[in-house]
Each structure stands twice: as C-alpha cells, then as structure tokens.
Amino acid sequence: MSLNIIVLAAGEGKRMQSRLPKVLHPLAGRSLLHHVIHTARELQPQQLIVVIGHAGEAVRAAFTADTAITWVEQTERLGTGHAVQQALPYVDAHARVLVLYGDVPLMRAETLRALVAASDTGLAILTARSEDAGNYGRIVRNQQGAVQRITEARDANAEERAIQEWNTGVLCAPAARLAQWLSHVTRYNAQGEYYLTDVIALAVAEGVPVSTVHPTRVADVEGVNSKRELAMLEAVYRRDQAEALLAAGVTLADPARIDVRGQLQCARDVEIDVNCVFEEQVTLGEGVRIGPNCVLRNVSIAAGTQVLAYSMLDGAQVGANCRIGPYARLRPGAQLDADVHIGNFVEVKASHIGAGSKANHLAYVGDSSVGQRVNIGAGTITCNYDGVNKHRTIIEDDCFIGSDATLVAPVTISRGSYVGAGSTISKDTPSGQLTVARAKQISLPSWKPPAKKTKG
Ligand code: UD1
Ligand code: CA
C-alpha cells in the first residue's frame, strides 16, 4: 500500500506572541515545518500534503522552491479531524495515511516507520508516557490493555486525567477507513471541534485493532506552543549534535556550548573551542582547530588550519595549514590556498589568495587575485568599487605591499613589485621595482614654532 502523508499546520500559535506563523519559527536555523517535511520525506511518501490556515500564504511562500508539496487550505479552524478531512480529497483512496503535526520538529523517521508498519493490521497511534500528561489527550485502555478511545484532557474525568499514557497526535490508517470514520465524527465536546482522536473509538466499535507505538524519548514527539518550548527543543537538538560530534571523535571544549545549525563534517582530530556556531554546510579537515566564539557558514577548511577567536567565515574555502584570525572576516568567494595568514581585522571578499601569502592586520582585500608569497601590509585597501561598478585588483607572486597602501582597481601589481607605504596606486606597477605614490616628505629648516601673543 502506498503512503500519503498529511501534515497539520493550520494553527495560529498564539502563545508564541509573534507575527510569524508558528510553524515558520526556526529551530537550529530551519523552520519547524522544514524539519517535519524533511523527516516526512525520509519515508518516501507518494504524496505530501500540508494543511495550512492561519497566515497560510506566508507558510506556503516559505516553500516556493518545493513543488512536490500539495497545499490545502483549511479556512475555518474546526479541529484536527476537520483539518484531516480537508486533505482527504487529495489523498489516494488506496493509500495508507500518516498524519503529522507541523509543530513537532524532532520526530524521528525510524519511529514513523515503526508506526507505519504497525498500521498493517488497522489503525496505529504514537503514544508516550509522562507522570503528568498535562493537556494531552489520554489513551484509555480496557482491563486487557486494549486501546478503547482517546479522551481529550478538557473532556476527561478525574480518573481519566490520572492516565499517564498520552496521544502524540501522530497516527496511521488506511485512507478509505479514515475517511469513513471521520464522516461520523461530531463536535459535541468541550471545545466544539471535530476531534481526529474520535476515530479511535469508531475503529474499536468496528472491531479494527488499534496498535500503539512509542518514541525512543519524549522530546522527539513534543510540540512547540511557546518560545519556552521552542528553546527547550533547541537545547535538545544542540545536545544531539554535540553528542554525534563527540562520538565521531571531535574534541569539544564544552558540548553544551556549540551550535550546529546545518551539516558539520569533521575529519580526525578536530578541536572546537566554546561558543562556536556552524551554519549550513561546513567541512573541517584533519587536525583543524577552531578557537572560541567563531561563526562558520558554508565553509570548507583543509587539514591543519587554525581559526583563532572571534572570526567570522562565510562562503569561504580555506586551504591547508592556514592561520585565520583572531577577528578575521572571510566573506563569500574568499578562496585561500595553503599556508595563508589572515590576521586581525582583515576582510577578504571574492578573492583568491595564493599559497604562503599574508595579510596580518587591518586590511580589505575584495575582488582580487593575489599570487603566492605576497605580503599585504597593515591598513592596505583594495578600492574595488567606483560607486557604480566593481573592478578587480591583481597582485602577482612575491609582491610586497607597504602599510596603508590603497590599490585603486582595476590595477595590476606585477610580480615582485614593492609598493611604498602610504601609496595610492592607480596605474599598473612594473615588475621587480619599488613604486611610491605619495607626496614627497619635506622639512623646513627655518621654521619656528608659533609663539603666544603677549597682551598690550
Ligand atoms: C491534539 C490532540 C491531543 C494530543 C495533542 C498532542 C486532538 C483533538 N487532540 O490536541 O490528543 O495529545 O494534539 O499535541 O486531535 N490543527 C489544524 N487545524 C485545526 C486544529 C489543529 O491544522 O483545526 C493543527 C495545529 O496546527 C497543530 C495540530 O493540528 O499542528 C494540533 O492542534 P492543537 O490545537 O495543538 O491540538 P491539541 O488541542 O493540542
Ligand atoms: Ca498542541
């Protein structure tokens, strides 16, 4: 039987106290709904349907690149049963339907696979256990332990409220059966809603077996209703990422102080100090060391390179045995070969820097090609922007750029050139010569310091 997945995401999320629809709030850099869709895809469903309502256009707009999602609008928010009913016309009648929530981000694919397998015989629900099941729906079983129904907390009597097993909301059933049960669900309950959970009692009445599956831990099935719950799940996610890195042999100064918001791949003997943030795709080669308080986004770093404290690397490729920082900034298109040194308050953008070159202090290198063994002095600026267009600066091998030089692009500093400190270079320099472009220094031997006027 093929699998169709319905994700419920029409809720407003009032308790988030935000303009942003709840399912678009980010956890580890990706929206809650993005996490759910990513996990859903791991089950390779024939169809993925997302039910939207509140701020539905904004939710849909966040996924415009994903054309494989069927969006269904629930105009009136009449309950979870009603939400599933809106999606059913788009479901293959012969398929099995898995219902997920858009605000439960840490759900694991393996748990869902177990649930789908358990639904072979009829209806399967994912349940968990807590000492106090709070506002969750209670799983009511008979004396033989068979599931009888789900009672919502608000409709439960004292005895039912004491039940510790609760409904995560996730269930799996054959589409045709689900449609038939839902057509019998009414709104006669405390919230005046069509409860999806009412299908359990209807299945039982028909003699359809109801099986239960449990998650490996409660956090995997917890939903986000407030910023507090969001922060708690973010912490769980953060810990999971840190654990995975430790298991892979990465040294973390403090596993509680690292944020991986994407994919971080590490070779052997990588060391990461505290408070570093890794976003999107980051690859670190063997023996790479990252100092404290660094941010790396879409970066690959080859073996032996050291990134010192407070550096920000974004969209950069760094070769082996480089030394970056402290306080360095690599921007998109920065491409560094081996043994390059980029020091404090140096910014590199859309530039290739050849092996063994150095810019150790206070410089801007943008839209440039820098050769090998070049020394870029403190305060050097490539003036790449004329107010309208960007131009390239080429610095060939073995050049020495004195401190505080301004290189006005387009310009070429030919192989082996020396540029005198404080020069403004707007014409190409000849190879192997010293070029100085600044006012000549003069001294006035007859000069006297000004004297104070004496009064009358
Ligand atoms: C629901 C379950 C409850 C379970 C709990 C787990 C029902 C009746 N109750 O309760 O047993 O313990 O989830 O979190 O199903 N939604 C829509 N349209 C609607 C209503 C809800 O899309 O008309 C979506 C929400 O956006 C959310 C999910 O369905 O993603 C659950 O809705 P919510 O209101 O949080 O359900 P609960 O009352 O908490
Ligand atoms: Ca909820």
53-74 pLDDT tens trace: 989 999 999 999 988 999 999 9
Global pTM value: 0.92
- pLDDT, residue 121, reads 84
Three-state SS annotation for 299-355 = EEECCCCEECCCCEEECCEECCCCEECCCCEECCCCEECCCCEEEEEEEEECCEECC
Query: What does the pLDDT look like over 336-352, one tens digit per residue?
Result: 999 999 999 999 999 99
Quick one: which ligand is closest to 226's CA?
2
DSSP track, 363-414: EEEESEEE-TT-EE-TT-EEE-B-SS-B--EEE-TT-EE-TT-EEESSEEE-
For residue 167 and ligand 1, the question of a CB distance below 6 A is answered with yes
- pLDDT of 456 higher than 80: no
Q: Look at residues 42, 158, 36, 166 and name the one whose alpha carbon lies nearest to residue 106.
A: 36
Residues 6+ apart with CB under 8 A from 399: 371, 374, 375, 413, 414, 415, 416, 417, 418, 419
Using 50, 70 and 90 to split pLDDT, how confident is the model at 176? very high
Mean of the per-residue pLDDT values of the chain: 97
The mean pLDDT value for 198-204 works out to 98
* Residue 184 is among the residues annotated as catalytic for this protein: no
For residue 221 and ligand 1, the question of a CB distance below 6 A is answered with no
Question: Nearest residue CA, atom 25 of ligand 1?
Answer: 11
The mean pLDDT value for 9-17 works out to 92
Q: Structurally, what CATH architecture does the domain formed by 3-221 represent?
A: Alpha-Beta Complex (3.90)
For the domain 227-435, what is the CATH code? Answer: 2.160.10.10
- pLDDT of 1 higher than 90: no
Query: What does the pLDDT look like over 135-154, one tens digit per residue?
Result: 999 999 999 999 999 999 99
Atom of ligand 1 nearest to the CA of 83: 18
For residue 13 and ligand 1, the question of a CB distance below 6 A is answered with no
- pLDDT of 189 higher than 90: yes
- pLDDT of 11 higher than 90: no
Q: Which one is catalytic: 214, 352, 361, 391?
A: 361
For residue 299 and ligand 1, the question of a CB distance below 6 A is answered with no
- Ligand 1 pocket test target in 80, 136, 168, 178 with most atoms within 8 Å of CB: 80
Half-sphere exposure of 102 (CA within 13 A, CB side): 31
The mean pLDDT value for 77-83 works out to 97
- pLDDT, residue 54, reads 83
How far away, in angstroms, is 443 Cα from ligand 2 center? 80
- pLDDT, residue 455, reads 78
Using 50, 70 and 90 to split pLDDT, how confident is the model at 23? very high
Domain spans of the chain, in order of start: 3-221, 227-435
Of residues 366 and 456, the one with the higher pLDDT is: 366
